[in-house]
Amino acid sequence: MRIPLWTIEFLEMMRYGSSTAASKVGHVYTRSISLESAEIRKLPRRIGTGGMEESLFFRRWKTFPRFRVARRLRMPPLNCLDTWGRETESGVPVEPKRRIFLLFEGENSEFDYFDALINLLNRRKLPKYLAVIPTKREGKDKGASNPKRLLAFAQDIRNAARGDAEAEERVCGEVSYEEGDEIVAIFDADIYKNSPDAYVALLDDFSKEDVATYVTYPSFELFLFLHIENGLDDWVLPHRTEIIENQKMPGSKRRFIERLFSDAVQCNPKKEGACARFANGYARACHEEGRINQETRSAIRVLTSNIGLLIGRLESS
């Protein structure tokens, strides 16, 4: 019997530190094919055995050493990627003092940026005591853009770590949350441009759940502008009014600041992987951010970013 519509996800695992350290998903290559049910049963037993070269899939597809099989419709909406892999000189794994989970509203921009940033910091052995775990939304929640969903994801991370079976199904990857760990939500505030009271209520809800919030107004592109030499003076401030209003461009779904940033750097910041290269300039961005509002509660209709404050915490923790 042949089973159609199974998704084979080949995962390139990027290791940090020893083989016992938690792994981080790199590139994901997906193909929908029909497989013999007997071959599917063999897959889990082949992982790590060295016999995978004999597999039908290894001969037919260009694959990576580690993979898993999953139904597309049952993909968990949240993938937690543990980047901690420190060890002593003798090779003994070192546990972090605490962990911080990063939840992003954006589908690609924020995740790609922080993924690259964490790699840069890890090369400098930073943070010293804090394991940073970025999360990426998958499945039907991949394109969800309402900050309220981040609150639900934060609850799932905590509940999954406490053994809640339903929460575990919604979270994929290393769920190593323990009491004392932190969860951070990073989102754009422009959705509340005309609802400041609802925005404050949302911040209160995050606070009640002990989830720290870092925001940009109108969107993450404002923080990205700070990475460009004279980006604030040459691009942002001359268009302050248009950026604050951030209307959709005529005949397009793109908003003003997104289009302006694309013109400035000649790339689409929403495209997967496009924002990773800007992480190299995070020091300039953190410095420039001090020239605009960094207060979360007064963000509505004010040029705001406090992402640099979060990065400062990661460097010093």
Same-domain status, 188 and 70 = no
At 33 the pLDDT is: 33
At 294 the pLDDT is: 98
Same-domain status, 188 and 303 = yes
Which region holds residue 122: left if phi is over 0, alpha if psi is between -120 and 50, else beta?
A: alpha
Same-domain status, 113 and 257 = yes
Same-domain status, 152 and 267 = yes
Residue-level pLDDT, tens digit, the chain, 317 residues: 333 332 333 222 222 332 223 333 333 333 333 333 333 333 333 333 333 333 333 333 333 333 333 333 333 454 444 454 555 555 556 677 888 999 998 888 999 999 999 999 988 888 888 888 888 777 767 767 789 989 998 998 888 888 888 887 777 655 567 888 999 999 999 999 999 999 999 999 999 999 999 999 999 999 999 999 999 999 999 999 999 999 999 988 899 999 999 999 999 988 888 899 999 999 999 999 999 999 999 999 999 999 999 999 999 88
At 8 the pLDDT is: 30
Do 243 and 304 contact (CB within 8 A), yes or no?
Answer: no
Same-domain status, 101 and 28 = no
Report which secondary-structure segment, H or E, holds 60. Answer: helix 56-60
Same-domain status, 47 and 108 = no
At 279 the pLDDT is: 96
Token digits for 169?
């199904």
At 173 the pLDDT is: 56
Same-domain status, 111 and 209 = yes
Same-domain status, 35 and 99 = no
Same-domain status, 40 and 145 = no
Last residue of a domain, one of 74, 98, 133: 74
**Residue-range definition of the domain harbouring residue 34:** 2-74
Last residue of a domain, one of 31, 52, 74: 74
Last residue of a domain, one of 51, 74, 97: 74
Same-domain status, 147 and 45 = no
Same-domain status, 69 and 137 = no
Domain count, the chain: 2
155-179 burial: b if 16+ Cβ within 10 Å, else e: bbbbbbbeeeeebbebbbbbbbbee
